Amino acid sequence: MLKKTIIALASALALGSAHAAPEKTECIAPAKPGGGFDLTCKLAQGGLQNGKFIASPMRVTYMPGGIGAVAYNTVIAQRPDESGTIVAFSGGSLLNLAIGKFGRYNENDVKWVAAVGADYGAVIVRADSPYKDLKDLIAAVKADPTKVVFGAGGSVGSQDWMKSVLVARTAGVNFKNMRYVAFEGGGEAMTALQGGHVHVYSGDASEVAAHLKGGRVRVLGILSAERLPGELANIPTAKEQGYDVEWPIIRGYYVGPKVADADYKWWVGTFDKMMASQDFAKLREAQGLFPFTLTGDKLTGYVKERVRQYAELARELGLVAAR
């Protein structure tokens, strides 16, 4: 009898030590359906459900506004303790935090859970462009910056704008003399490039794979530390060509500031397990993302450092910074 009691007690303690998953889960995509935030939420949804980490399907909801600003403010002020709710963020979210576009809140006001993948900046031209590499492009800009028109998904201060500015600045070009046309998003900018309305588009590596297959565009350089795998393996990095510029575009999730520590740790531990599986690696690849995994404290440290770097860049480039 005593032996049975001890076994039962041990089992109860073991069960109690494993924190249960939230009964209902939700991922907030801070944009309209179909964009990068939607992709990020769908990646979590598929990975968690396929891995049987959650009992019922994860709901994806949409909260557009300010590249994540509306969702950030709403979760902190109105939904700070929802244990089952994660919110998608991107490198663009961190950039906007750094330049004060998220209002009175900063990177310390949420709990950062996981980064599940990354994209990287890419400098793209039409297949029939006279520019064969970044050196050709920079030489043309130096000769007459008014004759080379750059397209960007977003206005001055956006990620796309930053990518080309940093490459040009590294080469000693005065970026203030460069010509830009702002578009609502990357899709419009790519269309404008193919139509000949702009000469260069500083977009994302994941955007170009389908266009490369059709022979419609050429990628002059990738803004990553090393060459990317797969179809982009033959494209040199900016660093290889003498321009020390990297622009990772991470994708991940955070939770509200008052989510209980036990619930936060469950999310962190669950993402650690999920991202270690081959099934998740296939899901990530299908979404056009490259490996980049950080969780918990390591992600929090990374976010704080990136925001600091972005704020410093904002000051150097003459953008309005809130710090």
- What are the structural domains of the chain? 25-118+248-316 (3.40.190.150), 120-241 (3.40.190.10)
Nearest of 255, 250, 252 to residue 86 by alpha carbon? 255
Angle at 276 between CA 274 and CA 277, to 5 degrees: 75
For tokens 């796309």, what's the residue?
160
Q: Which residues contact 323 (CB under 8 A, 6 or more apart)?
A: 98, 100, 106, 311
- Provide the total of helices (H) and of strands (E) in the chain, helices listed first: 11, 10
What's the confidence (pLDDT) of residue 16?
35
The one-letter amino acid at 108: N
The Cα–Cα gap between 247 and 204 comes to 9
What's the confidence (pLDDT) of residue 115?
98
Q: Please give the chain's pLDDT, 323 residues, in tens.
A: 444 444 433 433 333 335 788 989 999 999 888 778 888 999 999 999 998 999 899 999 999 887 789 999 999 999 999 999 999 999 989 998 998 889 999 999 999 999 999 999 999 999 999 999 999 999 999 999 989 999 987 778 788 889 999 999 999 998 889 999 988 667 788 889 999 999 999 988 887 877 887 788 999 999 999 999 888 899 999 999 999 999 998 999 999 999 999 999 999 999 999 999 999 999 998 888 989 999 999 999 999 999 999 999 888 888 764 44
What's the confidence (pLDDT) of residue 200?
96
Angle at 93 between CA 49 and CA 274, to 5 degrees: 25
Q: Tell me the two tokens of residue 319.
A: 């953008």
The Cα–Cα gap between 89 and 80 comes to 16
What's the confidence (pLDDT) of residue 258?
98
pTM over 0.75? The answer is yes
What's the confidence (pLDDT) of residue 2?
45
Please, is 4 exposed, middle or buried when counting C-beta atoms within 10 Å of its C-beta (0-12, 13-18, 19+)? exposed
What's the confidence (pLDDT) of residue 209?
72
